[in-house]
Amino acid sequence: MSLIIKDLYARVKDGAEILKGVNLNIPKGEVHAIMGPNGSGKSTLSKVLCGHPDYEVTGGSAEMDGQDLFSLSVDERSRAGLFLAFQYPVEVPGVSNANFMRAALQARLPKEEELDAVAFYKNLRARMKQLGMDPKFTARAVNEGFSGGEKKRNDVLQMMMLDPTYAILDETDSGLDVDALRIVSEGVNAMRAPYRSFLVITHYKRLLDYIRPDVVHVLYNGRIVKTAGYDLVDYIEEHGFDFVKEEHP
């Protein structure tokens, strides 16, 4: 059981090709990190996997536990267990956090089944406490007027509530201060499980110090150009990405 990406090509609709043959294999239970210089296609990869309408797959495949990801709609992928913590979580004015989460969980139940509201709120409050969030956030509109850090935390809260099998964290560390980074990372670590995998996209070592990946990939110019263990993180921290640029001019 794993997320298998084979020779994936994708471009901005009617625009330039960004992914140029990505190959990745993320087995269940593992945490993989993707690093890479700006513009290498990291965020594009996460959006393409989730089905963002701005992008177009031009070649290759992605399978999640044997299921063809690209034959599913955005919401079907989500309900099948794929989650994306956004680089820039979106504001949904007028819709409370609690209602949004309820609707998302309700969407996962069979039509005739009603979400247990009491259990839901109990779970929501417990998770918020775990992430150090003010209980008042349940009534606030999704991400509206949140600081950058609050938005990221809110996305991790959603991840906890939805309990996905494959979670992509797209630069979740950006905008977080040291304390928030620690709390969010602890939350992610608590979710590590044999039935779940993470794909962590980041520029920085500091996140990977908390969420220690099993495998580290470097994405450059639309391709995975290096795959190694945690040592690679230290190497990049010290030397930057010049070595990939030299190897793949």
Partner 1 sequence: MDSPATPSIGSTSPADAAAAQADLTPFTLDTRGEFSFPENHKYDAGYGLTEQTIDYICDAKGEPDWVRRFRKDALKKFREMPMPTHWAPESIRGVDFDKIRYYLAHGTPPRQSWDEVPDDVKRTFERLGVPEQERAFLAGVDAQYDSETAYNNMQEELRKKGVIFVNSTEGLRDYEHIFRPWFGKVIPVGDNKFSALNHAAFSGGSFIYVPKGVKLAQPLQAYFRINSESMGQFERTLIIADEGAELMYMEGCTAPKYDSATLHSGVVELVALKGAKIQYVTVQNWATNVYNLVIQRGLAMEDAEIRWIDCNLGSGLTMKYPAVVLQGRRARGEVVSISLAHSGQDQDTGARMIHAAPETTSNIIAKSISIGEGRASYRGEVKVLKGMKGCRNNTECDALLINATSRTDTYPAITVNGNASAVQHEASVSQVDEEQLFYMQQRGLTRAQAMSLAVNGFINDLVQEFPMEYSVELRRLIDLEMEDSIG
Judged by CB, which is closer to partner 1: 110, or 194? 110
Binding mask 121-160 for partner 1 (x = CB under 8 A): --------------------x----------------x--
**Count of Cβ atoms closer than 10 Å to residue 98 Cβ:** 18
Amino acid present at 22: V
73 scored as a contact of partner 1 (CB under 8 A): yes
Judged by CB, which is closer to partner 1: 1, or 109? 109
d(CA 138, CA 95): 10
Would you say the C-alpha torsion 238, 242, 246, 247 has a positive or negative sign? positive
Would you say the C-alpha torsion 241, 243, 248, 249 has a positive or negative sign? positive
CB 46 within 8 A of CB 219: no
In angstroms and rounded to an integer, the radius of gyration of the C-alpha atoms of the chain is 18
Judged by CB, which is closer to partner 1: 95, or 182? 95
- What are the C-alpha distances in Å from 159 to residues 74, 88, 136, 162, 193? 16, 15, 19, 5, 14
Judged by CB, which is closer to partner 1: 124, or 232? 124
65 scored as a contact of partner 1 (CB under 8 A): no
Q: How far is the CB of 143 from partner 1 (least distance, A)?
A: 9
Site for partner 1 in 99-128 (CB under 8 A): 99-100, 103-105, 107-108
Site of interaction with partner 1 (CB under 8 A): 50, 52-54, 73-75, 77-79, 83-84, 86, 89-95, 99-100, 103-105, 107-108, 141, 158, 162
